[in-house]
Amino acid sequence: MGEVLGIGVTHYPPFMSGKPESYAGILKGIMRSPNVPDEMKDPANWPSGMQDEWNNEIERAEEHQSQHREAFLKVRAAIDEFKPDAVFVFGDDQYENFKETIIPPFNIFCAPEFPSKPFRSEQNLWGIDPEEIVNYKGASSLAKEVANELVERHFPVPYSYTPSTLHWDRGLSHAFINGLTYLDWDHDNEWTYPTIPVAVNCYGKVVISNRGGSANIQDTRNDEEKDVLIDFPGPQGPTPKSCFELGDHLRKILEEMPGRYVIMASSGWSHAFLTTKHHWLWPDRDFDRARFEELKAGEQFKWENLNNEEIDDAGDAEFKNWICLAGSMKDRTPEIVDYMETWIFNSQKCFAIFRP
C-alpha cells in the first residue's frame, strides 16, 4: 500500500521578484483601469482594514514575505521528512498552455523532465540570470499509469507527453514553477523530487476572455468591437465536484501502488482581480474565512458541494486546486501551518499539511 502526504501552498507571483515594494503591484495596476469607478480609486472609500494596509504598505509587505518564507520552510521540512518517490501538483493554467486551440478541464503532464526558466527579470528571489534553466525531474511512467487508471475508473483525463505545449516556452507554467521555487526559498535546498504537474482549468469560462488574468478590467472596447468567441465568457471549467472526485481517485490509485507520494495544491484563494462585486480591488475574505473554518475542523469534504456560481462570485477560481486536494484528503484533519488574510496583496494564502 502506498502512503500519501497532502500539502497545500500558494504561488503568489509577486514574491518571485523578492521585492516587498512590488507585492501590491496587482492592485496598483487595477487602480489605473478605466473600468474601476473613480470613487473606488480613492482609498478613503475602501474598507478601514484595507486603508490601514495601504497606509503601511511596505511594512505589511515585509511581514507578508516573512510569513511566507517561514511557512514554505515548514512545509518543505515536512516533505523532506516524508521522502516522497514522486510529487503530484494541482495548479491552475492561466492562458499559458490552455489557449484557443484546446481548453481541457484538466491535463496531466507525463514528461520525463521539465527544463524551466523560473524568473522573467534580473530582479528575482534567487538573484540568478533570468535565462538560467532549472531542470526539474518528471515521472513520466507513473504519470501515464495514473492517467490510464483514471480513464479505467470512468474519469477520462487529458494528458500530454511534452513538457509544455507550443504556447509556453519557459517550461513549467507559473502555478507549478513558482511553488517549487518557493519550496527552495533561500536557494539552498534544491528540489529533486520527481514531479507530475496536473493543470486545472480553474478560470473556466473566462480563461480566454480574461487572457488568464485581468485583461477584461483594462478593456475599453464596446461589444461590437469584440470577437464573438474569444472576447466573451465561454463554457465553464470543471465543477467543484469533479475537482473533488479527481483528487479522491488520485489518492486511491496511489494507495494501491507501492511507494510514498505527495499530493499538493498550489494556489491562493479568493483573488481581488476576479472579485467583480468589489470592483476587483480586494478579495472575498468572508467566503475564504468560512472555507478556512471548515478546513481547520477537517470538514473540507464539504467543498465537494460548492458550485461554480459560488466560486465565481467569490473570485475564488484558483480554490479549485485546493478542492482537488480536499478530495484526496477528505478524511484527514490538517495541520495548519499558516493562514494569511490580506486586503491589498490580491489573495488570501493558506498553508496546510495533511499527514498520513
Whether 141 and 178 have beta carbons less than 8 Å apart is answered as: no
pLDDT in tens, the chain (356 residues): 899 999 999 999 999 999 999 999 999 999 999 999 999 999 999 999 999 999 999 999 999 999 999 999 999 999 999 999 999 999 999 988 888 999 999 999 999 999 999 999 999 999 999 999 999 999 999 999 999 999 999 999 999 998 765 567 888 999 999 999 999 999 999 999 999 999 999 999 999 888 878 888 988 899 999 999 888 999 999 999 999 999 999 999 999 999 999 999 999 999 999 999 999 999 999 999 999 999 999 999 999 999 999 999 999 999 999 999 999 999 999 999 999 999 999 999 999 999 99
As beta bridge partners, residue 87 has 195, 262
Which pLDDT score, from 0 to 100, does residue 211 have?
Answer: 87
CATH number at residue 171: 3.40.830.10
Which pLDDT score, from 0 to 100, does residue 168 have?
Answer: 74
Whether 164 and 97 have beta carbons less than 8 Å apart is answered as: yes
Which pLDDT score, from 0 to 100, does residue 285 have?
Answer: 98
Which pLDDT score, from 0 to 100, does residue 165 have?
Answer: 55
Which pLDDT score, from 0 to 100, does residue 214 have?
Answer: 82
Segments forming the whole domain that contains residue 277: 3-354
Report the interhelical angle of 319-328 vs 240-255 (nearest 10°): 40
Which pLDDT score, from 0 to 100, does residue 136 have?
Answer: 96
Which pLDDT score, from 0 to 100, does residue 47 have?
Answer: 98
Number of structural domains (the chain) is 1
Which pLDDT score, from 0 to 100, does residue 295 have?
Answer: 98
Which pLDDT score, from 0 to 100, does residue 1 have?
Answer: 86
Whether 328 and 263 have beta carbons less than 8 Å apart is answered as: yes
Residue 168: closest CA among 88, 101, 263: 101
Which pLDDT score, from 0 to 100, does residue 87 have?
Answer: 98
Which pLDDT score, from 0 to 100, does residue 213 have?
Answer: 83
Which pLDDT score, from 0 to 100, does residue 164 have?
Answer: 62
The total of other beta-carbon atoms located within 10 Å of residue 319's CB is 31
